[in-house]
A and B are shown apart, each in its own frame.
Chain A
Amino acid sequence: MASGGIATLMYLLIALNILAAAASLALFAVAIWVAVDANKLYAISAVSGKDDIFAGAWIAIFTGFAFFLTCLFGIYAALKRSRRLMLVYLFLMFIIFLFECASAITAATNRDYLVGNSNLVKKQMLQYYADDSSKGKQITDTWNRVMQEDKCCGADGPTDWLTFNSTYKAIYPGSYPWPSNCCEKLSNAEVKDPIGCNDGGSTLFRKGCFQYIESVLSRYTWAISWYGFAVLMLVFFMLLLAMVYYIQLD
């Protein structure tokens, strides 16, 4: 290959490395956002043992930052026109590529387990809401917050509490058919209309909470898996180019 060709290849490789460094830094930031879990729905995935969406986020934090550093190293290796440095660069990038693949695939798969349909979330709610164990307390706090924030009741609706037995019904047998957080509350946390809510009137929240939970967990998953996938596709083509450059070096 003529020396002009190698120079073009080198500049192209450097440009792609800069782009990949920026993209992987963004992946690092997005993964931190998912791991922080602003909507505090971690308990719902943790209690059922399917919290790999957040595990995928943690892996993506490390791989995002590692991609960034390795791309900077790749710029140096390309400028130096050194075979050895290019080989080290290719090897490191490949290892990080594998880890990032794992992160993207894990997040996407676990989302299907959690929110493919409302059964898992509903069963968890019926078994753990108002339970005294640590799992129960986590679930109770999460559901109380979700029901008041999103103005919803139950997984598919208030009838979930009627159609199934639940720990809540076992612990509070003579009380309302549904938890008091299903009702509109005043600013001092008292139920606005206890009798009306008990009878299922207009102060009871009618819609199910599953839509909200599903949308939040899906948003986290798509951030990790689809964006990770995009970064990986860019890195894949960049590595092909780097291999060609390595071959052309003398």
Chain B
Amino acid sequence: MPCVILSARHLQGFIPLWILFMRNKMFSCYRMKTNVVIRLVLLLTVCTYAVKTQTATPVLTPADLQAKITTNTVILKQPHCYFNVTCPACELWLVPALSSATSTFDADRTNINILSLSPYPSAFGPLFKNYFLTKVGLLSAFPCSASSDSLYFKVGENGNCTTINCNGILPTGSVDRFKYVLVNGSSIINETNWSDNITLYTPQNPESIYDGLSARSAAMIVITTILSVAAGLLLLLFFIMLCLFCCRKKDSKPITVKSSTPITVNSSTPITVNSPTPITVNSSTPITVESSEHIPHYDTHLINRKHPYDNHAYELERKK
């Protein structure tokens, strides 16, 4: 018989509609007899009822909180609608336990003094029970109608406290599981499932952060290379420029003008020839210097004579 087995959660709250739907499906797929259908409906209703009281599981709060899990505290969703019983004096208690200690609690659960069997101050350690119980509140304070995602319960609120059932912090970095239990007087009458493993933060040493150079940015590489090249280029050009001018200054050889053809120098402005070394003008052809300005002309045909201005006509008379 194709009976779709839905999980407990899907069944909650939708029983009338579900019954109608299944009935219609039955009629469309098969021509079933009515009494079989009625039996099916009754079975499923019983299943749904039983599911409600046993398969609630504590979860982390779905609210948007940054401190859901810290190094030693956990924030859980409040236990609204986890136990569908009417019990005015009942109280809701929470059992935080290391994930390795869940079996210890399950074994101790039926003990008469369960509430004080593992006091908080001596709860955690290698030889201890590694669970404790803390009171959450009266069952009547958590009705189904008030269920909300924004309501939460913080485990570890009392810090490192000293009373037996205080809401103390958990061991740093431990892996924990949680269970809500319904307590009447001093005995546990009902409980939820164990939650999933919740791993607390193990804080690392900040010395372990590597704070050396991560990578060189592209901008830094561009700036460094281009500026280095520019500075080097400038230095090079500077030296070349200096060398160029040191060499040109020492360049002063005697001016030598040689030519086999007549040299003609014409100028409308005065000709000035300056030289640190003596000027020598050699020519096999006559040198003619023409100028619009007056050039003093010196008589040079008797230049080899010692006494050029002596009159020889008077020499004979002197000897007489």
Residues of A within 8 A of B (CB): 48, 90, 94, 97-98, 101, 104-105, 108-109, 111-113, 116-117, 119-120, 122-124, 126-127, 158-159, 162-166, 169, 174, 177, 198-202, 204, 206, 222, 225-226, 229, 232-233, 236, 239-240, 243, 246-247
Partner of B217, one of A108, A122, A247: A108
Q: Within B27-68, which residues are at the interface with A (CB < 8 Å)?
A: 63-68
Q: Per-position contact with A for B213-231: 1 when CB-CB < 8 Å, else 0?
A: 1111101100110111011
Instruction: Please give, as numbers and ranges, the residues of chain B lying within 8 Å of A124 by CB-CB distance.
Output: 211
Q: How far, in angstroms, from A199 to B160 measured CA to CA in the complex? A: 17
Cβ of B206 within 8 Å of any chain A Cβ, yes or no, is yes
**Known: A162-B70, A229-B227, A233-B230. Contact between A200 and B206, CB under 8 A?**
no
Cβ of B129 within 8 Å of any chain A Cβ, yes or no, is no
Contact B217 A111 (CB under 8 A): yes
A119-B210, A162-B201, A199-B65 known, 10 other contacts, Cβ within 8 Å: A94-B235, A97-B231, A104-B223, A105-B223, A112-B214, A159-B66, A162-B70, A166-B206, A200-B65, A201-B65
**Known: A163-B204, A200-B67. Contact between A98 and B220, CB under 8 A?**
no
Q: How far, in angstroms, from A204 to B204 measured CA to CA in the complex? A: 23
Q: How far, in angstroms, from A240 to B215 measured CA to CA in the complex? A: 35
Contact B213 A116 (CB under 8 A): yes
Nearest to A83 among chain B residues (CB) is B245
Cβ of B238 within 8 Å of any chain A Cβ, yes or no, is yes
**Known: A108-B219, A119-B214. Contact between A169 and B238, CB under 8 A?**
no
**Known: A123-B209, A174-B160, A204-B66. Contact between A101 and B231, CB under 8 A?**
yes
Instruction: Please give, as numbers and ranges, the residues of chain B lying within 8 Å of A117 by CB-CB distance.
Output: 214
Q: How far, in angstroms, from A98 to B230 measured CA to CA in the complex? A: 10
Instruction: Please give, as numbers and ranges, the residues of chain A lying within 8 Å of B226 by CB-CB distance.
Output: 229
Partner of A163, one of B64, B203, B216: B203
**Known: A200-B66, A200-B67, A247-B244. Contact between A105 and B227, CB under 8 A?**
yes
Instruction: Please give, as numbers and ranges, the residues of chain B lying within 8 Å of A158 by CB-CB distance.
Output: 66
Nearest to A158 among chain B residues (CB) is B66
Q: Per-position contact with A for B144-158: 1 when CB-CB < 8 Å, else 0?
A: 000000001010000
Contact B234 A236 (CB under 8 A): yes
Nearest to A196 among chain B residues (CB) is B65
Q: How far, in angstroms, from A49 to B282 measured CA to CA in the complex? A: 81
Interface residue count on the B side (C-beta < 8 Å): 44
CB distance from A236 to the nearest CB of B (A): 5
Contact B154 A104 (CB under 8 A): no
Q: Within B225-271, which residues are at the interface with A (CB < 8 Å)?
A: 226-228, 230-231, 233-235, 237-238, 241, 244-245
Q: How far, in angstroms, from A108 to B225 measured CA to CA in the complex? A: 12
Q: How far, in angstroms, from A48 to B230 measured CA to CA in the complex? A: 32
Q: How far, in angstroms, from A205 to B231 measured CA to CA in the complex? A: 48
Instruction: Please give, as numbers and ranges, the residues of chain B lying within 8 Å of A174 by CB-CB distance.
Output: 159-160
**Known: A117-B214, A159-B66, A236-B234. Contact between A101 and B228, CB under 8 A?**
yes
**Known: A123-B209, A164-B204, A165-B203. Contact between A116 and B215, CB under 8 A?**
yes
Nearest to A160 among chain B residues (CB) is B206
Contact A164 B223 (CB under 8 A): no
Interchain Cβ contacts under 8 Å between A and B, 8 examples: A48-B211, A101-B228, A108-B217, A112-B220, A119-B209, A159-B66, A162-B203, A177-B70
CB distance from A162 to the nearest CB of B (A): 5
Contact B217 A112 (CB under 8 A): yes
Contact B217 A123 (CB under 8 A): no
Q: How far, in angstroms, from A210 to B226 measured CA to CA in the complex? A: 30
CB distance from B40 to the nearest CB of A (A): 47
CB distance from B236 to the nearest CB of A (A): 11
**Known: A162-B70, A174-B159, A199-B75. Contact between A226 and B219, CB under 8 A?**
yes
Q: Per-position contact with A for B130-173: 1 when CB-CB < 8 Å, else 0?
A: 00000000000000000000001010000110000000000000
Partner of A239, one of B203, B217, B234: B234
Q: How far, in angstroms, from A191 to B235 measured CA to CA in the complex? A: 62
Contact B71 A127 (CB under 8 A): no
Instruction: Please give, as numbers and ranges, the residues of chain B lying within 8 Å of A229 by CB-CB distance.
Output: 223, 226-227
Contact B223 A226 (CB under 8 A): yes
Cβ of B205 within 8 Å of any chain A Cβ, yes or no, is yes
